[in-house]
Amino acid sequence: MKKLLTLQEVSELLEVKPSTIYQWTHQGFIPHVKLGRLLRFKEADIVNWIEKRSAAGRATRKLPTAELGL
């Protein structure tokens, strides 16, 4: 079995408050596992969830033509 993370571990990993993690789980925003009253997170699911939300930046800044004086 893969490692299960605690709420505190996920909170520290994402650098958000534990209350934010609780809210996200209640909304179904973040993948989680309920074990009775315990809330746990599959490490692989969290990594995949983060990767899906990563966005590459642009190589250059695109300016509207009005700002270029065209």
The pLDDT of 43-51, averaged and rounded, is 93
User: Structure pTM?
Assistant: 0.73
pLDDT score for 55? 79
pLDDT score for 3? 86
Q: Token digits for 5? A: 């993370």
Indicate whether 61 pLDDT > 70.
no
6 Cβ contact partners less than 8 Å away, ≥ 6 residues apart: 40, 41
**Could you tell me which of 28, 50, 49, 31 has the C-alpha nearest to residue 40?**
31
Indicate whether 68 pLDDT > 70.
no
